[in-house]
Amino acid sequence: MHDQFILFLEALLQQTGLREMWWGNLVMIAVGCTMIYLAIAKHFEPYLLIGIGFACIVANVPGSDLIREGGLFHYAYQGVNLLILPPLIFLGVGAMTDFGPMIANPRLVILGAGAHLGIFVALIGAKLWGFSIQEAGAIGIIGGADGPMAIFVTVTLAPHLLPQISVAAYSYMALMPLIQPPVMRLLTTKEERLIRMEQPRQVGKLEKIAFPIVIAVIVNLFFPPVAPLITMLALGNLLKEVGVVERLSRTAANGIMNVVTITLTVAIGSTMSADTFLTVKTLQIVFLGLVAFVFGTASGVLTAKIMNIFLTKKINPLIGSAGIASVPIAARVSAVVAKQEDKRNYLIYQAMGPNLAGVFGTAISGGIMLALLLAR
């Protein structure tokens, strides 16, 4: 009887994950808890960090079947791996976004390219650190400050780095209000920060309807590697702007967006197991991601300053950093820094132009990178 009792207990113990638990799992569980804390207490990207943090905790409980083949989180990850979820996120983003500020001020779209120097600084840095050219390209795209695009490029070029790159990209996007302002202030004078910009013109309905169609044609024609993302963004935006399919537009912006966000965050978090995440490479990628954000912010501000040499109506260089993408966080940071200098200087609408152009800037950079790195 006693022997049988011990045997039963041993059999039960064999089926738990306790025997496989190591300190790395505990560290990653702490990381997951920190993410959830930051989301709740500091409001840092709660829609992303809650799902990522929770799945990170579950992925580090040895014995959990959820992340193994056949498990629910495993299938969630297939949505990322097969590049289904990032384009669906873009569908929702398109349905939620008003591209009016970008259409109204076409000269500011150049900032959407100017603020992407960080991508290439991180790419070269990663190569110097011994990463392969594909890995370096995927790491560089963190500087585009665009989560779905970072996932898309990484899955195509270096899928084994997905957990590190997606976590770095989303974490720095959440931390942009802390990272960008010191760089912006360092590179601008007080007079420049006080520049007021006139309100852009009103954009007509036909312009807003034509915009996603034109963009879809341009991207599919010139950048097929990233066409799925931008095409879905355009579709979502078209649903919003036509004004006759409100039900579909609302579903894309709310229902689909919410379901995909839950699935995507769980998928990313489920890849953060200690065995793959606790490496020197992770620290290097996290550092390079920070470098990318700092250089991207700096190059955006400097591009705006260079533009001012040629423009009669000066632009406030603070909106240059908004070209880094990460809609609307970067635009909000520009507006907040400008307001700290002059309480009556409202720059949010003007900053949204380069901010939206930054989405296309990242897509173009990513598209060119994929085209060149996949070419044989």
Partner 1 sequence: MLVPDTLQGALLLSLIDFFLSFVVIAGIGLVLAAFPWLDRIAQPGVNDPIQD
Which of 44, 77, 90, 120 is in the footprint of partner 1 by CB under 8 A?
Answer: 120
The CB density around residue 351, as the number of other CB atoms within 10 Å, is 31
Count of residues in contact with partner 1, rule CB under 8 A: 46
What is the C-alpha to C-alpha distance for residues 362 and 145, in angstroms, rounded to an integer? 8
Smallest gap from Cβ 82 to partner 1, in A, equals: 24
Which of 59, 136, 216, 285 is in the footprint of partner 1 by CB under 8 A?
Answer: 136
Q: Which is nearer to partner 1, 35 or 136 (CB)?
A: 136
Please identify, among the stretches 176-184, 213-221, 239-247, 309-317, the one whose residues bind partner 1 according to the rule CB under 8 A: 213-221
The CB density around residue 133, as the number of other CB atoms within 10 Å, is 15
Q: State both tokens at 330.
A: 């970067």
What is the C-alpha to C-alpha distance for residues 286 and 168, in angstroms, rounded to an integer? 6
Using CB under 8 A as the binding rule, the residues of this chain from 337 to 376 that contact partner 1 are: 357, 360-361, 364-365, 368-369, 372-373, 375-376
Q: Does residue 69 contact residue 214 with C-beta atoms inside 8 Å?
A: no
Smallest CA-to-CA distance from 167 within 289, 42, 258 is with 289
Q: State both tokens at 223.
A: 């950048």
Instruction: Give the three-state DSSP class for 129.
Output: coil
SS (H, E, C) 256-285: HHHHHHHHHHHHHHHCCCHHHHCCHHHHHH
Binding to partner 1 by residue 160, rule CB under 8 A?
Answer: no
The residue type found at 281 is: K
What is the C-alpha to C-alpha distance for residues 42 and 154, in angstroms, rounded to an integer? 28
Q: Which is nearer to partner 1, 256 or 359 (CB)?
A: 359
Smallest gap from Cβ 330 to partner 1, in A, equals: 16
Which of 113, 179, 238, 315 is in the footprint of partner 1 by CB under 8 A?
Answer: 113
Which of 101, 114, 289, 300 is in the footprint of partner 1 by CB under 8 A?
Answer: 114
Smallest gap from Cβ 368 to partner 1, in A, equals: 5
Which of 83, 133, 286, 306 is in the footprint of partner 1 by CB under 8 A?
Answer: 133
Smallest gap from Cβ 151 to partner 1, in A, equals: 19
- Residue the block writes with tokens 């290097």: 284
Smallest gap from Cβ 127 to partner 1, in A, equals: 4
Indicate the DSSP class of residue 68.
S
The residue type found at 98 is: D
Please identify, among the stretches 72-80, 156-164, 210-218, 282-290, the one whose residues bind partner 1 according to the rule CB under 8 A: 210-218
Smallest gap from Cβ 364 to partner 1, in A, equals: 5
Each residue 83-112 as x (binds partner 1 by CB under 8 A) or -, in order, gives -------------------xx--xx-xx-x
What is the C-alpha to C-alpha distance for residues 267 and 76, in angstroms, rounded to an integer? 5
Q: Does residue 85 contact residue 258 with C-beta atoms inside 8 Å?
A: no
What is the C-alpha to C-alpha distance for residues 93 and 104, in angstroms, rounded to an integer? 20
Indicate the DSSP class of residue 132.
-
Asked whether the CA dihedral 334, 338, 340, 341 is positive or negative, the reply is positive
Please identify, among the stretches 4-12, 65-73, 81-89, 201-209, the one whose residues bind partner 1 according to the rule CB under 8 A: 201-209
The residue type found at 20 is: E
Q: Which is nearer to partner 1, 56 or 370 (CB)?
A: 370
Using CB under 8 A as the binding rule, the residues of this chain from 219 to 258 that contact partner 1 are: 222
Binding site for partner 1 (CB under 8 A): 102-103, 106-107, 109-110, 112-114, 116-117, 119-120, 123-124, 126-128, 132-133, 136-137, 140, 201, 203-207, 210-211, 214-215, 218, 222, 357, 360-361, 364-365, 368-369, 372-373, 375-376
